[in-house]
Structure 1
Amino acid sequence: MTRTAVPTLGGADLAAVARVMAEAGEPVAGELECSLIAGGRSNLTYRLGDGRRRWVLRTPPRAGRTPSAHDVVRELRIIAALHPTPVPVARPVAACEDEAVIGVPFAICEFVDGTTVQTREAFERLAPESVGDLTTTLVGTLAALHRVDHVQAGLGGLARADGYAARQLKRWSGQWELVAREGLGALGGELVEALAARLPDQRRTAVVHGDFRIDNTLLQISGGPGGAPRVAAVVDWELATLGDPDADVAMMCAYRHAAFDLIVGEESAWTSPLLPGVAELAATYEELAGVTLAHWEFHLALAYFKIGVIAAGIDHRRRSGAGAGPGFDTAGEAVRTYLDLGRQALRSG
């Protein structure tokens, strides 16, 4: 099978981007230069620069997209609403929904200086004594997001405020039907039925990130004595919506399993054994947020199912010729593991 390379942005595309930026009140000083930061498994992220300033441009993949996913313009609207709040996000610049401009919709934010800790090797280069502070900072940032008044922030119309678990189960089971490989469809279907039979009432409503873990943040890490790491910006808001914050915590915890390494194609920072396990992460959130997590086994099981669908989606794009690189060849191996984890979580409740 011929694999499709991650597309680059040519001179005509960059000139069009510059025009959109100027129309949004952000004129560039010269010709834009562009380099890929990350791409292939989900949305594509590029660094832009004009020799004086830097920005980040996000686009969806040009092939293999599934319905309702990869909405970078919606991402920017969420970031714009959160920018005045205590939640650290990049300054929004411009968005363009017209696919005729460069072939896909795109969104632009100001570049944030910070460190993306993606690999286990990079994480374990941090001083061991900073791990506790880092955990507190990360979990505290998620708790801060959940404290935002979504109506006051202008996000009251982002989604329905109630019925989050049912909406998520419907959405992700629909995605599962699109991307499941032969032989696993029935196993996923059984988990969906078990989850549907245990749908909980929703106790709280908040903006939920949906994909929160260390590598979806930009960190500023002080090298001085007593310097604690700080989250400079939370990134990758494509799954954000209004929902149950307890489910958001479960998603963060579910990513801790070692099978996540198969999805990203390397030993990831968030699966490091130096980090707290699921129970301790959940307890830290409860302490920092001042709440008790409810219906935990259900939310954890649904989180495992969702990651399994994400893995299946990556494998689906590989099989359609729309992606290549780390994770694409191995993500499919993680699908059964996450389905089994979901079933185990339900049985423990």
Structure 2
Amino acid sequence: MTELTRRELDGVTEVMTAAGTTPRGDLRGRLLTGGRSNLTFRLDDDADAWVMRTPPRAGRTPSAHDVAREFRAIKALGRTDVPVPPAVALHEDDDVLGAPFAISGFVEGHTVQTQEQLDALDDTRLSMAIEALNATLAALHAVDHVAIGLERFGRPDAYAERQLRRWRGQWDIVGASFPDEVATLATALATRLTDRLPTQAATGIVHGDYRLDNTLIQFVGKDDVAVAAVVDWELSTIGDPVADVANMCVYRDPAFDLVIGTPCAWTSDRLPSVEDLAASYEKAGGVALRDFDEHLALAYFKLAVIAAGIDHRQRAGAAHGPGFDTAGQAVPLFLEGGLARL
């Protein structure tokens, strides 16, 4: 599904109206680029704009594409200082679009996804953007999830163990089409992680997919950069905040370009190294990065499975375009990266 019919848009309008937001004039929708999991549409009426997230209609993997989870996260965090889009409406049935969908307010800001967009930032503004990115992540990890109503958002303990079990189960589904040598790497990394699971010293809200291109940034005058909104919360949960930092750092691996299908901003040599990025987070007031190598290895395994899932959807005919036909090539590279960290 890359286009919305008039009937579907009318159904979305009814859902928004029932939630207390009535579009003024006929609702229009267009697909925004950049999604590798959920589809992201911009919705417009004659005065306002919104963003709608919905899963693909085919090739879905269990527990992925959780737009309801995204919605609940931003709705709760809207009461904090963490910048998120305003929550508007959630529809969990398949009767309107053939899949659930969630709608949030449209936030003005700059996306930095490509090398070209990154090149538009001079070194000073880029440094400020990274500082703002880490300060926002540290602020997220400082939020009391119970106080904002997310006490049932996820189990607070044994986070690494649950993550390994989840992504190992996903691999059993999406990894079946890979050669034996890749399967051997996956088994080896999962086995070694079982023996070296990181210990959990802190608990907080984990975004699960945090990096620069999952934020919108704003330029504040000539001297500052701020994060206007953090987006893409489908993997969020309650768990070990160190995992968020590890995930962010692993996305710096050049193999991530194969998942995106083009050289992306987050793999650029202009950005800090893994070590410097982690140090910047701690300097911003984040939690101590205990057992960081083990967290990095687990993040590599997670990213390998995500890349395999993208390849799985492409093979199922549910997706096509840049990244979908090359994501599978990144899988052994991520698995090797995780083994190297251990």
Normalised TM-score (structure 1):
0.95
Among 256, 269, 281, the residue aligned to 2:252: 256
Match of 2:337 in 1: 341
Letter in 2 for 1:56: V
- Mapping 1:30-179, distance limit 5 Å: 30-38=25-33, 41-179=36-174
**Is the 1:40–1:324 contact (alpha carbons within 8 Å) kept by the matching residues of 2?**
no
**C-alpha distance in 2 between matches for 1:297 and 1:97:** 38
**C-alpha distance in 2 between matches for 1:188 and 1:204:** 28
Match of 2:313 in 1: 317
- How large is the Cα RMSD of the aligned pairs? 1.1
Letter in 2 for 1:186: T
**Is the 1:311–1:335 contact (alpha carbons within 8 Å) kept by the matching residues of 2?**
yes
Could you list the runs of 5+ residues in structure 2 that have no partner in the other structure? none
* CA deviation after TM superposition for structure 1 residue 182, in Å: 2.8
Match of 1:190 in 2: 188
Identity across the alignment (%): 55
**Is the 1:60–1:105 contact (alpha carbons within 8 Å) kept by the matching residues of 2?**
yes
* CA deviation after TM superposition for structure 1 residue 221, in Å: 2.0
**Is the 1:177–1:185 contact (alpha carbons within 8 Å) kept by the matching residues of 2?**
no
Match of 1:271 in 2: 267
**C-alpha distance in 2 between matches for 1:290 and 1:21:** 37
**Is the 2:205–2:241 contact (alpha carbons within 8 Å) kept by the matching residues of 1?**
yes
Letter in 1 for 2:102: A
**C-alpha distance in 2 between matches for 1:131 and 1:329:** 31
Match of 2:281 in 1: 285
The structure-2 alpha-carbon separation of the partners of 1:133 and 1:27, relative to structure 1 and needing over 3 Å to count, comes to same
* CA deviation after TM superposition for structure 1 residue 49, in Å: 0.7
* CA deviation after TM superposition for structure 1 residue 200, in Å: 2.8
**Is the 1:307–1:338 contact (alpha carbons within 8 Å) kept by the matching residues of 2?**
yes
**Is the 1:40–1:323 contact (alpha carbons within 8 Å) kept by the matching residues of 2?**
no
Letter in 1 for 2:60: R
**Is the 1:30–1:50 contact (alpha carbons within 8 Å) kept by the matching residues of 2?**
yes
* CA deviation after TM superposition for structure 1 residue 319, in Å: 1.0
Q: Secondary structure at the match of 2:32?
A: strand
Aligned length: 339
**Is the 2:241–2:287 contact (alpha carbons within 8 Å) kept by the matching residues of 1?**
no
Letter in 2 for 1:11: R
**C-alpha distance in 1 between matches for 2:311 and 2:286:** 39
Match of 1:246 in 2: 242
Deviations 1:210-237 (A, max 9, x none): 1000110011124x432x1111000000
**C-alpha distance in 2 between matches for 1:92 and 1:33:** 19
The structure-2 alpha-carbon separation of the partners of 1:290 and 1:268, relative to structure 1 and needing over 3 Å to count, comes to closer
The structure-2 alpha-carbon separation of the partners of 1:195 and 1:48, relative to structure 1 and needing over 3 Å to count, comes to same
Could you list the runs of 5+ residues in structure 1 that have no partner in the other structure? 1-5
Among 4, 9, 12, the residue aligned to 2:7: 12
**Is the 1:246–1:299 contact (alpha carbons within 8 Å) kept by the matching residues of 2?**
yes
Match of 1:3 in 2: none
**C-alpha distance in 2 between matches for 1:188 and 1:18:** 45
**C-alpha distance in 1 between matches for 2:42 and 2:222:** 32
Letter in 2 for 1:252: M
**Is the 2:78–2:86 contact (alpha carbons within 8 Å) kept by the matching residues of 1?**
yes
**C-alpha distance in 2 between matches for 1:37 and 1:235:** 14
**C-alpha distance in 1 between matches for 2:31 and 2:2:** 9
Letter in 2 for 1:201: T
* CA deviation after TM superposition for structure 1 residue 38, in Å: 2.8
Deviations 1:264-314 (A, max 9, x none): 001111111111000001111111125421011100000011111111111
Moved over 6 A (4+): none
Match of 1:211 in 2: 209
Letter in 2 for 1:209: H
**C-alpha distance in 1 between matches for 2:44 and 2:110:** 18
**C-alpha distance in 2 between matches for 1:114 and 1:231:** 8
The structure-2 alpha-carbon separation of the partners of 1:40 and 1:85, relative to structure 1 and needing over 3 Å to count, comes to closer
Letter in 2 for 1:207: I
Q: Secondary structure at the match of 1:38?
A: coil
* CA deviation after TM superposition for structure 1 residue 110, in Å: 0.6
**Is the 1:247–1:299 contact (alpha carbons within 8 Å) kept by the matching residues of 2?**
yes
Deviations 1:46-79 (A, max 9, x none): 0001110100011001110000110101210110
Q: Secondary structure at the match of 1:28?
A: coil
**C-alpha distance in 1 between matches for 2:222 and 2:169:** 51
* CA deviation after TM superposition for structure 1 residue 39, in Å: 5.8
**C-alpha distance in 1 between matches for 2:129 and 2:93:** 40
**Is the 1:36–1:45 contact (alpha carbons within 8 Å) kept by the matching residues of 2?**
yes
